[in-house]
Amino acid sequence: MTDNPNILGKHVAVLGAGRSGVAAASLALREGANVSIWDQGGPEIFGKVPAGVEKHAGMKESDVEGFSADLIVISPGIDTYSPLAQAFAAKAPLIGETEFASRYYEGGIIGITGTNGKTTTTELVSLILKQAGLGGTPCGNYGAPLSEILLAPDVPAAIALELSSFQLETIDDLRPKVSIWLNFAPDHMDRYPSVEAYKKAKLRIFENQTAEDTVVMRHGEDLGKLLPKVITFCTENRNADFFSDGVTISQGGRILLDLEAETSLRGLHNAENAMAAMAACMAYGIDPALIPAALQGYAPPPHRCELIRTLDGVEYLNDSKATNLHALQSALRSQNRPVVLIAGGKDKELDYSPILTILGKQAISAVTFGQIARPLADLFNGAVRTTAVGTMEEAIEVARSLAPRGSSILLSPGTSSFDQFTGYEQRGDTFRDLVHQLL
């Protein structure tokens, strides 16, 4: 990793004036660069940009005419495959905000990636690092941008760094001491030209690791040949280094944690997240005896199989964070009650046929809504009785009529929310509000 590169007097151009872009511009300014920030929005977008940064609103491809810079820092929300980003990249070296900030961070990094479970795992790693007195601030794709962490008065000795494919595709030197690979499934096909391109971006988390580093990965994942030491976890194969039956977590047959007695984590998907976090922190050198106290009382973030309420003997679960097929599969697999599934949203051009086997096994019926409601219902009807509706409110009403006492109504959309909502959070909040209004 590059140590404190000198950008004094150099021109650093930041693309995107959101939180990550503002943090990167502030860090570049602190390091003595001449900083400009560019955004497709209007002048009002620059409200939080610090003084001394040159501002360019209405960013477009033609702006590259006459443009020059020593370095371009791109925000993760800007598609690097887009003609706009490519036009700027032709003018100067282009890296992401996380890569840029990592060049000025001297502590230890536990990096977390995967299609699903990243945020919960990042929070668990953070709690364990904090318990060990290392700070452990969660950052990156979850929490604050890494640049923002470096601008704070007390920089942590170690961080839990969640890394999306968007951030990993723009790294050069970023090197986690321990990397976590949770899982992989097709996603973001509206941004990537192929599944292979998406996976290639995620695999970059290992690119700069050496034999002195460690990879923690789900047993059975095909990652090719890896140079770092590999530690595996699993809920299905007891030959993995860490194993959980959903109740306890063990290493080599020795129980390290009782999930039911010592934490609020439930379900096999959360057991996997906990194993990954524990394995990574132990590989970092943390005493496993510290872990139970770190995780005691922890509740997973909202919108991840969140129990909203129990009404007439039926549980209502909010898993709005399930924005892809793998997350939907994980949610179904983790249930121990008969399920009435609510799924649907934006059409991301994903193939949902692999879901049919587990859908037929775990669900008694399904309700689909949103842009993809009708084609999804046509497919799901091959496994369970499925009803297509237009809105979330209609979906809850129909699901309630289909759910017997002792079952669960599970909102696990399996796709993004942008057909009807601003994001999965608003979708989940709407579900929660509507469920609380039921009489």
CA distance 419 to 77: 18
Residue 11 is among the residues annotated as catalytic for this protein = no
DSSP line for 145-160: -HHHHHTSSS--SEEE
Q: Burial letters for 404-436: b for 16+ Cβ neighbours within 10 Å, e otherwise?
A: eeebbbbbbbbbbbbbbbeebeebbbbbbebbe
Q: 232-247 burial string, b = 16+ CB within 10 Å, else e?
A: bbbbeeeebbbbbebe
Distance of alpha carbon 205 from alpha carbon 359, whole angstroms: 32
Exactly one of 116, 141, 318, 324 is catalytic; name it.
141
Per DSSP bridges, beta strands 34-38 and 54-56 are: parallel
**Which residue is catalytic, options 11, 188, 269, 303?**
188
Tokens of 188: 């973001």
Annotated active-site residue 188? The verdict is yes
Q: What is the DSSP letter of 350?
A: -
Whether 177 is catalytic: no
Q: Which of 11, 118, 326, 348 is catalytic?
A: 118
CB 401 within 8 A of CB 312: no
Active site (catalytic) residues? 118, 141, 188
